């Protein structure tokens, strides 16, 4: 894997091959691009890019990012990849990374040929837990409290306590970014599903909570081209804890791109 930093300060890891498909992974809240590495290394026949979203990990802090900032950063990376190759671009997003991926596909369909979206929130839907969190965390909690509570919900109390002190300190320092994501993503709808024309592989656990099942069903009903794939009894962080299963979702999305390409170039017999 080659490491680099973009002109705007995003830390990236890339593996380039001769493949005509490049997968760009986008992580969720309080995560890192490196969480996808176990999955990415199981994709032997594609190029891939992982990166730390602005304000997380080794990417630039600077001005507090919003949802729109994260979408624009993804556009920058996709434009860079498009300039390097005429091949297809697949975006695989976990959690709010999937929400950002959907928004990007709606705004720039020329840059996204296929999507993988795993258990992403749609915060502006009525009853969304993310919507409630936005009202609470953006106004009433200290950023460090929000960050610790969120991390404990992801990895459990024992997992949080087991992290090295330096890691806990870094994660607590990302609380403002987390709060900004909650608030800015809960504005009026940031995209319309009818504007997403590429194929979308929707992933979720077979025993996901009701709100994630409802959100996935909303996406499946509203998207023009979607396929639902379940990972049996998977945690929310399946991209890192179940990399083989998550790779199946990505491979299916790559397959759909290749099928579209073949339909485009194959001659039609009248």
CATH number at residue 139: 3.40.50.1820
Q: What's the number of domains the chain is made of?
A: 1
The Cα–Cα gap between 112 and 117 comes to 13
Residue 173, in any domain of the structure: yes
The Cα–Cα gap between 115 and 93 comes to 8
Residue 270, in any domain of the structure: no
Q: State the burial class of residue 35 (Cβ atoms within 10 Å of its Cβ: 0-12, 13-18, 19+).
A: buried
H or E element that contains 11:
strand 11-15
In the chain the first and final C-alpha atoms are separated, in Å, by 47
Distances (CA, A) of 79 to 16, 85, 133, 168: 16, 10, 33, 34
What pLDDT shows up at residue 266?
Answer: 45
b/e 94-126 (16+ beta carbons within 10 angstroms → b): bbbbbbbbbbbbbbbeebbbbbbbbbbbbbeee
What pLDDT shows up at residue 133?
Answer: 54
Residue 190 belongs to domain spanning: 2-265
Residue 65, in any domain of the structure: yes
Tokens of 161: 């306590």
What pLDDT shows up at residue 267?
Answer: 42
What pLDDT shows up at residue 268?
Answer: 40
Q: Which residues have CB under 8 Å from 105's CB, separation 6+?
A: 91, 111, 112, 115, 195, 196, 198, 200
The Cα–Cα gap between 22 and 264 comes to 19
What pLDDT shows up at residue 265?
Answer: 41
What pLDDT shows up at residue 130?
Answer: 61
- This prediction's pTM: 0.92
| Sites in the chain below the pLDDT cut of 50 | 131-132, 134-135, 264-270
Which residues share a beta bridge with 116? Answer: 92, 201
What pLDDT shows up at residue 37?
Answer: 97
The Cα–Cα gap between 160 and 167 comes to 10
What pLDDT shows up at residue 262?
Answer: 57
What pLDDT shows up at residue 259?
Answer: 83
């Amino acid at each position: 894997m080659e490491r680099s930093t973009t002109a705007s300060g995003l830390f990236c890891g890339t593996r380039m091959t001769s493949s005509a498909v490049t997968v760009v992974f986008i992580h969720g809240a309080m995560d890192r691009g490196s969480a996808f590495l176990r999955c990415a290394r199981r994709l032997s026949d594609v190029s891939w890019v992982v990166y730390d979203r602005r304000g997380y990990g080794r990417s630039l802090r600077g001005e507090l990012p919003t949802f729109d900032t994260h979408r624009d950063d993804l556009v920058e990376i996709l434009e860079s990849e498009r300039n390097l190759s005429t091949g297809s671009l697949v975006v695989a997003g976990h959690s709010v990374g999937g929400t950002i991926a959907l928004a990007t596909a709606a705004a720039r369909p020329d840059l996204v040929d296929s999507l993988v979206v795993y258990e992403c929130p749609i915060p502006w839907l009525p009853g969304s837990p993310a919507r409630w969190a936005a009202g609470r965390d953006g106004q009433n909690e200290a950023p460090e409290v929000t960050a610790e509570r969120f991390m404990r919900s992801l990895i459990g109390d024992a997992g949080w306590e087991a992290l090295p002190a330096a890691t806990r300190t870094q994660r607590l320092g990302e609380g403002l970014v987390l709060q900004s994501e909650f608030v800015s993503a809960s504005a009026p709808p940031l995209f319309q599903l009818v504007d997403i024309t590429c194929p979308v592989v929707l992933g979720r656990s077979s025993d996901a909570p009701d709100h994630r099942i409802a959100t996935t069903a909303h996406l499946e009903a509203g998207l023009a081209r979607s396929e639902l794939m379940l990972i049996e009894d998977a945690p929310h962080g399946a991209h890192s804890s179940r990399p083989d299963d998550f790779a199946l979702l990505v491979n299916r999305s790559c397959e759909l791109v290749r099928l579209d390409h073949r339909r485009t170039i194959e001659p039609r017999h009248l």
